[in-house]
Amino acid sequence: MAEIGPVASGEPVSLLARAAIALYPTWWRDRYGEDQLSFMSDLRHEGRSVARALPNLLAGALRARVSGTGAPALPSLWWSRARASVTLSTLPAMLLLPLMVMATERGFYSSGSGQLSAGQHVAETAGGVLFPVLLATGLVLLLGWRVLVHQARRVPKGGGRVRFEAAMAAPVLALGGALALSWLSSRLSPAGLESAWWYRSPTTHRWVVHETWAPGHPLLGPSLHEAAIVWALVGWTVAAVLVGRACARAPLAPDAIRGGVLVARLTAVCTVVLAGAFSVYALAIALQPWHLIPAGDCASVPPVAALRAFNGCSALTAPAGHVVLTSPLSGAVGWWVALAVAGAVFSVLGARAAGRSMRTAAALES
């Protein structure tokens, strides 16, 4: 018999390598975990770079999770993988939706003269694509959510079902709470949020209605308005995670999981289109030429025209005595685009894994 290999070195394995191996699925670690630890130990013993092996280990963990290669042939395990993959596929869309809605509401600005630059035309076109796709993604998620709740009600009432239904109420609480705060805020502002411009100067908070200062509480209304935005964003994110966990553990019948896989595929397509359109939109806005205005115009009272034309005033990069008017999206475009692309990649991988797991589970059962 040929030599199997050198005797195990017993060299301690770094924490990073252990963490990377911990990212593999449980059944993988049970089967290959010790082998991989020994591999990393031998690598270190021979003075080879452990850091260079880490990306390969991480890619392997992702591959094992997506493909399920080597998983035991148990239908229950594969159905469970399908449920988890549906969650992985739909979660990015649930998290990206509020961010994108916020970005499209605040990111675009016109020059004030009505003339659009080339970049603004591109942003406008991409924004035109974004809106219907955002709507379609929201509808797919809502319909899928409704179907899942309906399917879960067919399961006899037990601890699992109660937790599932409680988690499914989280998005309603998030959106309902945000709407209630928003309504309260509009009641406390002098002329309703639609027609009032809230201007925040470094020293004072003032209301501007129809281009003149108006009386009204300078802080309460706007604070509630911002609280509504924070509630919606944080609440929706928490709700997305709760719904995801509930779906991954819910006692759903195979039919419901098949529906979930369809939702995952549709969501993946929507997320890819969203990420593409959003990247073009955000980059086009970020590449818009800056507008310089005298500092006095930005700080003067009331600067309604400037505020209507632009979304932000920044004195950081402007020559002395001037400020730069720029989109709030410009500074954050890098990570917004990275988030959108990462979300699309996870969504596609999740949808593929869901489809494969469902087919394997069905084949094992038959």
Partner 1 sequence: MTKTRLFPKPDPTLLVLTSLAGGPKHGYALMKDIEGFSKLTLGPGTVFGCLARLEERGLVRALDPEDRRHPYELTATGLAVLNEQLDELSRVTATSMARLRGGVSTATVPAGGRSDG
Residues in touch with partner 1 (CB under 8 A): 1-8, 28, 31-32, 34-40, 42-43, 52-53, 55-61, 63-64, 69-70
What burial letters (b/e) apply to 331-364, b meaning 16+ CB within 10 Å? eebeebbebbbebbebbbbbbbbbbbbbebbbee
Residues in CB range of 206: below 8 A, 6 or more apart:
199, 213, 218, 301, 302
Answer whether 294's CB lies under 8 Å from 324's CB.
Answer: no
Residues in CB range of 131: below 8 A, 6 or more apart:
104
Best CA proximity match to 268, nearest among 177, 148, 328, 350? 350
Angle made by CA atoms 186, 189, 192, in degrees to the nearest 5? 50
Rank residues 36 and 267 by Cβ distance to partner 1 and give the closer one: 36
| Distance in Å, CB of 228 to partner 1, minimum | 45
| Torsion on CA atoms 221, 223, 228, 229, rounded to nearest 10 | 120
| Distance in Å, CB of 298 to partner 1, minimum | 54
Best CA proximity match to 315, nearest among 332, 294, 334? 294
Rank residues 55 and 112 by Cβ distance to partner 1 and give the closer one: 55
Count of helices and strands (H, E) across the chain: 13, 6
Residues in CB range of 245: below 8 A, 6 or more apart:
87, 167
Rank residues 57 and 298 by Cβ distance to partner 1 and give the closer one: 57
| Distance in Å, CB of 17 to partner 1, minimum | 9
| Distance in Å, CB of 60 to partner 1, minimum | 2
| Distance in Å, CB of 197 to partner 1, minimum | 55
Rank residues 70 and 321 by Cβ distance to partner 1 and give the closer one: 70
Rank residues 78 and 278 by Cβ distance to partner 1 and give the closer one: 78
Rank residues 41 and 271 by Cβ distance to partner 1 and give the closer one: 41
Rank residues 77 and 178 by Cβ distance to partner 1 and give the closer one: 77
Rank residues 8 and 234 by Cβ distance to partner 1 and give the closer one: 8
- C-alpha dihedral sign at 73, 79, 84, 85: positive
| Distance in Å, CB of 1 to partner 1, minimum | 6
Answer whether 259's CB lies under 8 Å from 85's CB.
Answer: no
| Distance in Å, CB of 352 to partner 1, minimum | 16
Question: Distance (Å, rounded) from C-alpha 304 to C-alpha 313?
Answer: 13
